[in-house]
Amino acid sequence: MQKILLILLVSAIGQSAFSQKVDSIYFHLYTDSLKKGTHNYINVDAKLSNGRWQPLTDKDLTFTTDYGHFSGNDLVLPENPTVKKVTVKAVLKSNSNLWLERTIWIKTIPNPEVLPTTDEVLKPKRKKN
């Protein structure tokens, strides 16, 4: 019985010694603006005390916004938004002193109906004289 307790104690101490704390959190957005009528993934990463990075999800964070709503890490915006920008806040659940807040603009230029082909993108345009 004493051996089992000793093994449990040593493993608990060892595990806590190797666990890393979150030092800070950062937004690493994939785009400079949000798209209307779609899910926009809000990427938040933690910098750990050992210098490594770890992605965070809604299991680790509490997301809030002043417009739209969150579904997991996705900020969902309506097709015809009534605002030009959105403020997003992410708070670490395990330490509410670690939080971020950013204002992100909503894309206003419409998407083209037909995207250019690979040849059109890669082919250099000639200057007209």
The verdict on residue 21 lying in a domain is: no
Question: Does the structure show a pLDDT above 90 at 112?
Answer: no
CATH number at residue 64: 2.60.40.3440
Share of the chain above pLDDT 70, in %: 84
Check residue 71 and give its pLDDT.
97
Strands (E), 28-129: 33-34, 39-41, 44-48, 53-56, 61-65, 69-71, 74-76, 85-92, 99-106
Q: How many domains does the chain have?
A: 1
The verdict on residue 31 lying in a domain is: yes
128/60: higher pLDDT: 60
The whole domain housing 98 covers 26-110
The verdict on residue 6 lying in a domain is: no
Contact 41, 73 (CB under 8 A): yes
Q: How confident is the model at residue 13 (pLDDT cuts 50, 70, 90)?
A: low
Q: What is the pTM of this model?
A: 0.71
